[in-house]
Amino acid sequence: MNTRRGFTLIEVLVALFIVAMGMVAAFKALSSAADNVIQMRERTFAAWVGFNQLATQRLKPGVPLTGTQEHDVEFAGSRWHWLQTIDDLQVPGVKRITIQIRHVNDDKAAPGGKQSAAASKYWLATVVGFYGDALAYPQSELQGWDDGSAQQAPGP
């Protein structure tokens, strides 16, 4: 009677296959997490570029002109391209400033890493702000903040 203990070759191969599949899944998850971190870093830098441009626009003397403007800037070791659009709103004296930001070399920011016509439209971040040129208090009653009583606003 021959009683050997141990695993057969097929059992060992199946176990190795299962471990290999688990390792592949773990490496895919780690790779995906690393890609997400890189993408979030790029989007954060793009938003900072937009906020910097918005602050620059607000600090310029005078009322911003309605229209579109674009430019390239260097920030955080990368070249960025921003597109700024200033629109008049229905409220007199209030303008909306919209800034879209992407890499100058858009091939690393585009999905799939391929430069294409769609890649030139791939904006990493969009920043929206407002500019107002209040010249006088509104000519109406203002509600009090503390007690709810109405008070007359001073004239111009």
Per the structure block, which two tokens stand in for 54?
């918005």
pLDDT, tens digit, 9 for 90 and up, residues 84-126: 999 999 888 899 999 999 998 754 544 544 444 444 568 999 9
Domains identified in the chain and CATH numbers: 9-134 (3.30.1300.30)
pLDDT, tens digit, 9 for 90 and up, residues 9-18: 999 999 999 9
Residue 141 bridge partners (DSSP): 152
Q: How far apart are CA 48 and CA 60, in angstroms?
A: 18
